Amino acid sequence: MPADEDLRTVPSPPLEGVRVLDVSTLFAGPLAATFLGDFGAEVIKIEHPARPDASRGHGPQKEGVNLWWKTLGRNKRTVTVDLSAPDGAEVLRRLVADADVVIENFRPGTLERWGLSPDRLLAINPRLVLARVTAFGQFGPYSGRPGFGSLAEAMSGFAALTGDPDGPPTLPPFGLADGVAALATAYAVMAALRGAERDGRGQVVDMAIIEPILMLLGGQITAWDQLGTVQPRTGNRSVNNAPRNVYRSRDGVWLAVSTSSQSIAERVMTLVGRPELIAQPWFGSGHERALHADELDDAVQSWIGAHDADEVIAAFEAASAAIAPVYDVRGVVEDPQYQALGTVVRMPDDELGEVAMQNVLFRLSRTPGSIRWTGRPHGADTDEVLRGAGYSAAEIAALRRNGAV
């Protein structure tokens, strides 16, 4: 088949033709835009001319180049606009005319103060989806408060559940609530785009970061409502099944074991030489097994502690029982399953030469996503995007002189 004919048969990514204006910062909003960009959306990242997205200053750097931004900013063109300046607000209004999505995370009322209210933006573009990502949502007694994902992890009950039973509540060492909210925002945007496709009308997405993480905490609200129970901290154990914990092998490797299904629990106890426990009346229920976690953990740890990690993993695999090593980032990069999936990819980068990062979230068989480029320098595409919006060279120069871009 001729090369040009072959190229014509390659399907476009599923979000090709969707234009996203990312005017958000730290981290849920920008990450949602990254997810959309990974599957073909044209994402224009808008930052303040003098105050770049704060994520560019988070985490490690190499030779003055921020490394987290290379992933968070991938597949985005970068533009500088001062939205608080009248000329800058006008730039956004002109860009909105040809956009499908705007993602913002200013405190409620900020866009309105700048003349960029939802009503005004939807008047310019009735099909627009405006995703507003804030800590507490657009209304309610906390809506005007500053907030970040850590507060959502605290308020949702996640921190209260995390940590050792006799220790303090524990926050995760990464942006968990932000990441969950980013996934939820991308999902909400896709739902709203589908609605606009059907009836030609856009809408506002009100995403409060304190809410999506609640869905991951299972049936706790219903249990509180019906039984008045509050789930305690259990460390690495589960209240739903046992054995479920991390166990240390003879050669010092930590291994995670899970027995969420009854059949797996039976296989594990047979493997570790305690089949008599399976006959106990309490063993047939995950919840009841969790009440006997001390006995089950002692049995599993005793057996794992007498073997090296490779032996343990091989034995569990042969028994069709669930186990995995506890990795740090080195283990992730070196693991053959991650390598087979292509979970970590190496990408060319203008500033660093080449960088490794997580691949797109999932594999589509016909219209896959891709990383087209890594995070770009602050404002690298400003002139090109403004020219595309109809600004002349003289007008762009004037915007620069007055600090609007």
Contact residues for 276 (Cβ-Cβ < 8 A; gap 6+): none
Catalytic residue among 178, 251, 294, 381: 178
Rounded Cα distance between 256 and 288, Å, is: 20
Is 178 one of the catalytic residues?
Answer: yes
Residues 359 and 371: beta-carbon distance below 8 Å = yes
Sheet bearing 323-325, strands edge to edge: 245-248, 254-257, 323-325
Token pair belonging to 302? 């005793």
Distance (Å, rounded) from C-alpha 223 to C-alpha 388? 55
Residues designated catalytic? 178
